[in-house]
Amino acid sequence: MFQGKKKAITFSYDDGVTQDVRLIEIFNRYGLKATFNLNSGLLGHDNTLKVRGVEVKHNKVEAQKVKEIYRGHEVAVHTLTHPNLTQVSEQEVIRQVECDRENLEKLVGYEVCGMAYPMGGINNNDEVARILKQHTKVRYSRTITSSYNFELQENLLRFNPTISHLDENLFPLVKEFLALKPDNPKILYIWGHSYELDVEDGWTRMENLCKLLSGREDIFYGTNREVLL
C-alpha cells in the first residue's frame, strides 16, 4: 500500500542532462515525482547525439547545481562514466557504482540508494545484480526492459519499468492504469531521457501525459525510492 492507496505512479530519467530542468518544471506543475539517475564523473560535460535522426544537445548539468535542480525529487546512481556493467570486472562495477553514489550523496546531502543501469542493449544480468547486492549500498536498480504491466516485483535489483515514454503503447497503457480499481497494489513506472523530448513535439506529449496523470485521489505520486521501498 502507498500511504493507504493501492496505485502509485513514478518516473525515472537518466543521464542528468540540462533538459531535466524543463521536465522538472512540468512535473512540479502537476504534482508528479521522479528519480533522476546521474553520472557524477560526467557532470558539466557538453555533447550532442542523434534522436530519431535529429541532433539534440546532451549537456550534463553542473555539479554545483545538482542539489537545487533536483530538489523535491530523488537523485540516484547511473555510474561514474556510463559503461556497460556486464562488460567490466567486478571491481570496476563496484568502483563505478559506489564512487558515483558517494559523489552524489555529497552533492545532495542525503542517502543515495537507487540506481538505473547505464547503456542500451543487454545492460544488466544476475551477476551484476549479485555484485550490487553484496558489495554496494544500492537497494534497487532499474533496467530498460518494459514489463508492460503494473505488478510489484520481487527482484528490485533488476527492476523492469512499465514502459518508456517513447513507446507507442504509452497512452493506452496509461488509460488502462487510470481505470483500474485494484484489490492489490499496482505501479505505473515510466522512464526515459529528457533530451528525447526535444524531438517530434515531445514536450507537448509530456505535458499532455502529466496533465492526464495528475490530481487523482486514488493514486500515490512518489519517487522510485518512495514507491519501491
Whether 156 and 225 have beta carbons less than 8 Å apart is answered as no
Instruction: Give the span between the Cα atoms of 215 and 209, in whole angstroms.
Output: 12
In a domain? residue 51: yes
Strands 186-192 and 114-116 come out as unpaired
Band (pLDDT 50/70/90 cuts) for residue 50 is very high
What CATH number does residue 128 fall under?
3.20.20.370
- CA 55 to chain CA centroid, Å, is 23
Condensed to tens digits (0 to 9), the pLDDT of residues 190-229 reads: 999 999 999 999 999 999 999 999 999 999 999 999 999 9
In a domain? residue 2: no
In a domain? residue 76: yes
In a domain? residue 100: yes
> Hey, is 61 helix, strand or coil?
coil
Give the CA distances from residue 151 to residues 7, 16, 140, 183, in Å, rounded to whole numbers and listed in that order. 10, 28, 16, 12
In a domain? residue 131: yes
Q: What is the pLDDT of residue 1?
A: 78
Half-sphere exposure of 199 (CA within 13 A, CB side): 16
Condensed to tens digits (0 to 9), the pLDDT of residues 150-195 reads: 999 999 999 999 999 999 999 999 999 999 999 999 999 999 999 9
Instruction: Give the span between the Cα atoms of 29 and 11, in whole angstroms.
Output: 15
Q: For residue 189, report the phi and psi dihedrals to the nearest 5 degrees.
A: -120, 110
Q: What is the mean pLDDT of residues 2-14?
A: 97
In a domain? residue 89: yes
* pTM of this prediction exceeds 0.95: yes
Domain count, the chain: 1
In a domain? residue 84: yes
Strand partners, 134: none
In a domain? residue 11: yes
Band (pLDDT 50/70/90 cuts) for residue 86 is very high
**Structural domain for 164, as ranges:** 7-228
Condensed to tens digits (0 to 9), the pLDDT of residues 64-80 reads: 999 999 999 999 999 99
Condensed to tens digits (0 to 9), the pLDDT of residues 95-117 reads: 999 999 999 999 999 999 999 99
